[in-house]
């Protein structure tokens, strides 16, 4: 990134990096989801929680700026900035899969596969999906379609289905 305040990890911004397949979902659609998923007019009280939309190339920059301008036309002045993607640093292992780590039952369920290997857990698609369901995202219909791939015990399957179904 060109902004030197975001290079130093001592003055970092918490963010996520999304790897996506453009044949499945385009960058423009991801931008639309991004703009709907937060208050782009709200001001951050620190660099750590700044609202930023990163782009990786000129095409993404044009798309990000165009979607920003559409949102600004509707909402007025925005605090969210569009900035070039620089070096991305993963958060410490203990920050990964936060909701899953707070739920000993499901965390122990996955430790049957990963043991104490935090790196494997961090990169696990199943752990990511489970984390999102535990955080309150995802619909029961979607869970029913994918739960077989999770490798959960019958008890854990029922517990997760009940939890998501009761929302």
All domains in the chain, ordered by first residue = 4-84 (3.30.1060.10), 93-165 (no CATH)
The pair of three-digit structure tokens given for residue 132, joined into one six-digit string? 């999102």
Asked if pLDDT for residue 6 goes beyond 80, the answer is no
According to the model, what pLDDT value does residue 1 have?
A: 41
Q: For residue range 113-160, list pLDDT tens digits in order.
A: 888 888 888 889 999 999 999 999 999 999 999 999 999 999 999 999
Alpha carbon distances (Å) from 130 to 24, 36, 40, 126, 135: 22, 23, 28, 6, 9
The band of 44, judged by pLDDT with boundaries at 50, 70 and 90, is: confident
């Amino acid at each position: 990134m060109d902004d030197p305040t975001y290079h130093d990890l001592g003055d970092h911004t918490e963010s996520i990096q999304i790897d996506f397949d453009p044949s499945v979902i385009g960058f423009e659609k991801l931008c639309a989801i991004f703009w709907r998923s937060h208050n782009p007019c709200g001001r951050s009280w620190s660099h750590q929680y700044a609202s930023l939309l990163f782009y990786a190339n000129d095409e993404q920059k044009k798309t990000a700026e165009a979607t920003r301008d559409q949102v600004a036309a509707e909402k007025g002045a925005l605090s969210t900035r569009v900035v070039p993607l620089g070096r991305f640093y993963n958060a410490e292992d203990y920050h990964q899969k936060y909701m899953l780590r707070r739920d000993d039952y499901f965390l122990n369920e996955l430790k049957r596969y990963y043991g104490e290997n935090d790196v494997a857990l961090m990169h696990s698609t199943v752990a990511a999906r489970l984390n999102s369901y535990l955080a309150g995202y995802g619909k029961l219909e979607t869970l029913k379609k994918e739960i077989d791939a999770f490798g959960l015990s019958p008890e854990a399957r029922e517990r997760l289905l009940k939890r998501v179904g009761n929302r």
